[in-house]
């Protein structure tokens, strides 16, 4: 059974979604960020593979929803940006990661998180950038940190950032906060996100764990947490509005 089932059936039971910032998504003023969909986290053999914890999606199961979201935003003519997270194999940018994740051997040639390793350098599933869809690479969690993502959005006149990808407790939340700090509206795809669990929280009740806590935080403070189907409905609502205008 897919690990997406709990999300799709229970999102309003575990996240208070009373207030929304983006009831419509104008594709012409939206940037879709395909965030760190790399085999390192999506492939069951990956060095940071994300299992399903507390009813959250697994790294493998988020691939299809993200592919569908990418397809819809391409059809709608939105700006698309891909992102990859990784570290230099010579250790020059390993930073605090080396202290917090020692089993991953950050900043070494053998680490699955090092550039040059297929787990880091490639994309999962059919998630391949097309011409005109740039990829930003970085060594820190936020996709805005030391990348031209903000410049891309400003040149596109985007006021909304849709995030489809991983990981909820690291790159999704930090990117969301940075977007919020720049006054962008943010939409996070709940069935297209997953969180690397800590080793002592693998056995938690459904609706709990890092993934859900960070989605609740995002919804309460920074943006909208919606399913991929709800995202498509918002795209259609925007289309209908401008057709009538």
Residues in the chain, total: 245
Asked if the structure places residue 148 within a domain, the reply is yes
15's tokens: 């996240």
Domain tally for the chain?
Answer: 1
Asked if the structure places residue 67 within a domain, the reply is yes
pLDDT band at 196; cut points 50, 70, 90: confident
Asked if the structure places residue 197 within a domain, the reply is yes
In this prediction, residue 200 carries a pLDDT of: 64
Asked if the structure places residue 234 within a domain, the reply is no
In this prediction, residue 197 carries a pLDDT of: 79
Predicted TM-score (pTM) of the model is 0.96
In this prediction, residue 245 carries a pLDDT of: 52
pLDDT band at 1; cut points 50, 70, 90: low
Distance CA 137, CA 143 (A): 8
Per-residue pLDDT of 105-144, as tens digits, reads 999 999 999 999 999 999 999 999 999 999 999 999 999 9
Asked if the structure places residue 118 within a domain, the reply is yes
Distance CA 25, CA 239 (A): 9
pLDDT surpasses 90 at 212: yes
> Is the torsion defined by CA of 91, 106, 129, 7 positive or negative?
negative
Long-range contacts of 145-151 (CB under 8 A, 24+ apart): 145/174, 145/178, 147/83, 149/31, 149/33, 149/81, 149/83, 150/182
More confident residue, 6 or 244: 6
Domain range holding 42? 5-11+28-227
Comparing 134-138, 227-231, 237-241, the range with the smallest average pLDDT is 237-241
pLDDT surpasses 70 at 242: no
Asked if the structure places residue 244 within a domain, the reply is no
Per-residue pLDDT of 84-100, as tens digits, reads 999 999 999 999 999 99
Per-residue pLDDT of 148-184, as tens digits, reads 999 999 999 999 999 999 999 999 999 999 999 999 9
Q: What is the CATH number of the domain that holds 206?
A: 3.40.50.850
């Amino acid at each position: 059974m897919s690990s997406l089932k709990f999300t799709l059936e229970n999102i309003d039971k575990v996240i208070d979604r009373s207030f929304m910032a983006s009831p419509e998504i104008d594709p012409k003023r939206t940037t879709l960020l395909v965030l760190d969909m790399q085999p390192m986290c999506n492939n069951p053999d990956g060095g940071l593979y994300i299992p399903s914890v507390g009813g959250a999606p697994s790294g493998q199961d988020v691939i299809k929803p993200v592919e569908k979201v990418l397809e819809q935003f391409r059809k709608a003519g939105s700006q698309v940006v891909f992102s990859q997270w990784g570290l230099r194999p010579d250790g020059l940018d390993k930073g605090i990661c080396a202290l917090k994740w020692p089993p991953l051997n950050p900043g070494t040639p053998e680490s699955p998180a090092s550039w040059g390793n297929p787990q880091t350098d490639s994309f999962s599933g059919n998630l391949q950038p097309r011409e005109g869809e740039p990829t930003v690479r970085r060594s820190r969690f936020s996709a805005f940190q030391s990348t031209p993502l903000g410049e891309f959005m400003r040149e596109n006149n985007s006021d909304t950032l849709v995030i489809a990808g991983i990981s909820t407790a690291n790159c999704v939340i930090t990117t969301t906060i940075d977007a919020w700090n720049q006054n962008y509206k943010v939409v996070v795809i709940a069935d297209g996100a997953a969180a690397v669990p800590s080793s002592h929280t693998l056995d938690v009740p459904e609706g709990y764990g890092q993934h859900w806590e960070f989605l609740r935080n995002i919804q309460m403070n920074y943006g909208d947490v919606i399913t991929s189907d709800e995202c498509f409905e918002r795209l259609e609502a925007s289309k209908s509005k401008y057709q009538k205008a």
